């Protein structure tokens, strides 16, 4: 008997297990080693989704169903170890959404938080709680829980972005609510750039009272975040595990920008190989710039611009970019930190 091995299943014991099974009992000692493991054990596996393949499928889906009929025309990136569960990691969701010129994805709201990371096209918009934002490459846009949101594309090219949601987190707690707005597009009551002016100028409205847990900043534009990393690169040495990596924060408290999803931006200089790193937050990497390889556990994944790859919890990660590379990253680290669960391992070098 131990934490790692279940006791022998004798005929007598088996008969007992079967007898109690019909009344909804089960013996802990037969399952203990699979429910309380000495270290993280996951069905989530390392995997890469190539953008070119995804874009062809998305354009094909564009001819098959409208955004309105689909509600959201999205291809879910399903982890090969978690098929049928709409998960890219055990706790998080990723999908690639396409909005064709002239289309609207109708207004709705739900308990789940979403992030948008713009990958392809220019000039579509999303609206949240009465405000629109225009979307450009690399912009990180937040849809807070229970906020009305609809998407539209008045440009003349298809727009594709990545959706990251905390669907499995909400499912774990059976706390999902959702409703239709009724109108395709919600009424717009505030000017473009309103939340940027109020919350993203290192100021806050003088008597601002916080509503909800998500950052009130709607859109974190890529140019500004990218420029911050560039400055960091010229000012200090790269972290041996992360290169130059920054987190997107909520200006109200300096914490992560979202209550359940921890977003970041990571720059790996030309020729820089990261030192092996692991943490309990399985992480989604979206390649914004560059190409190269990453070793995750025993697997080596090759990636290029706009590809998405995933590293499971507690697998060693080592990035090997060919030239300079930039990743947008997201994970459930913020949720694990709040629950006192998050751990990292930077290897044995200091």
- If one counts every other C-beta atom within 10 angstroms of the C-beta of residue 147, the result is 20
Q: Report which of 140, 160, 166, 193 is spatially closest to residue 62, judged by C-alpha positions.
A: 160
Pairing of strands 299-303, 159-165: unpaired
Instruction: Determine which helix (DSSP H) or strand (DSSP E) holds 197, and give its type and residue range.
Output: helix 194-199
Closest distance to ligand GTQ from the beta carbon of 163 (Å):
3
Interface with ligand GTQ (CB under 6 A), residue from 73, 132, 149, 245: 149
Site string for ligand GTQ, 43-82 (x = CB under 6 A): -----------------------------x-x--------
Closer CB to ligand GTQ, 47 or 149, in the complex = 149
d(CA 340, CA 350): 24
Interface with ligand GTQ (CB under 6 A), residue from 131, 163, 166, 307: 163
Quick check: 117 binds ligand GTQ (CB under 6 A)?
Answer: no
Interface with ligand GTQ (CB under 6 A), residue from 46, 62, 95, 106: 95
**Do 263 and 327 form a contact (C-beta atoms < 8 A)?**
no
Count residues binding ligand GTQ (CB under 6 A). 9
**Do 192 and 136 form a contact (C-beta atoms < 8 A)?**
no
Quick check: 121 binds ligand GTQ (CB under 6 A)?
Answer: no
Closest distance to ligand GTQ from the beta carbon of 86 (Å):
9
Total H helices, total E strands in the chain:
8, 22
Collapsed DSSP state (helix, strand, coil) of residue 54:
helix
Closest distance to ligand GTQ from the beta carbon of 110 (Å):
6
Would you tell me which residues interact with ligand GTQ (CB under 6 A)?
72, 74, 95, 97, 110, 114, 149, 163, 165
């Amino acid at each position: 008997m131990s934490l790692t091995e279940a006791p022998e299943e004798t005929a007598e014991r088996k008969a007992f297990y079967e007898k109690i099974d019909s009344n909804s009992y089960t013996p802990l000692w037969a399952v203990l080693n699979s429910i309380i493991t000495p270290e993280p054990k996951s069905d989530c596996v390392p995997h890469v989704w190539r953008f070119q393949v995804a874009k062809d499928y998305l354009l094909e889906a564009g001819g098959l169903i409208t955004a309105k009929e689909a509600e959201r025309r999205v291809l879910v990136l399903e982890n090969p170890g978690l098929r049928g569960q709409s998960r890219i990691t055990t706790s998080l969701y990723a999908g690639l959404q396409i909005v064709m010129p002239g289309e609207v994805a109708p207004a709705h709201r739900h308990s789940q938080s979403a992030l948008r990371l713009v990958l392809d096209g220019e000039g579509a918009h999303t609206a949240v709680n009465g405000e629109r934002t225009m979307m450009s490459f690399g912009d990180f846009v937040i849809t807070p829980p229970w906020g009305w949101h609809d998407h539209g594309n008045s440009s003349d090219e298809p727009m594709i972005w990545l959706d990251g949601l905390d669907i499995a987190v909400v499912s774990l707690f059976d706390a999902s609510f959702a409703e239709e707005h009724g109108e395709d597009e919600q009424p717009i009551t505030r000017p473009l750039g309103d939340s940027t002016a109020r919350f993203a100028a290192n100021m806050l409205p003088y008597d601002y009272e916080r509503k909800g847990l998500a950052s009130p900043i709607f859109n974190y534009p890529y140019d500004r975040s990218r420029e911050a990393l560039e400055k960091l690169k010229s000012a200090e040495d790269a972290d041996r595990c992360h290169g130059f990596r920054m987190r997107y924060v909520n200006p109200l408290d300096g914490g992560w920008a979202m209550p359940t999803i921890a977003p970041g931006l990571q720059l790996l200089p030309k020729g820089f190989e990261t030192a092996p790193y692991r943490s309990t937050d399985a992480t989604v990497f979206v390649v914004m710039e560059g190409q190269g390889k990453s070793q995750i556990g025993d697997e080596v994944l090759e990636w290029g611009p706009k590809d998405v790859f995933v590293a499971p919890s507690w697998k060693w990660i080592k990035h090997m970019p060919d030239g300079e590379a930039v990743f947008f990253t997201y994970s459930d680290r913020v949720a694990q930190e709040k629950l006192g669960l998050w751990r990292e391992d930077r290897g044995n070098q200091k």
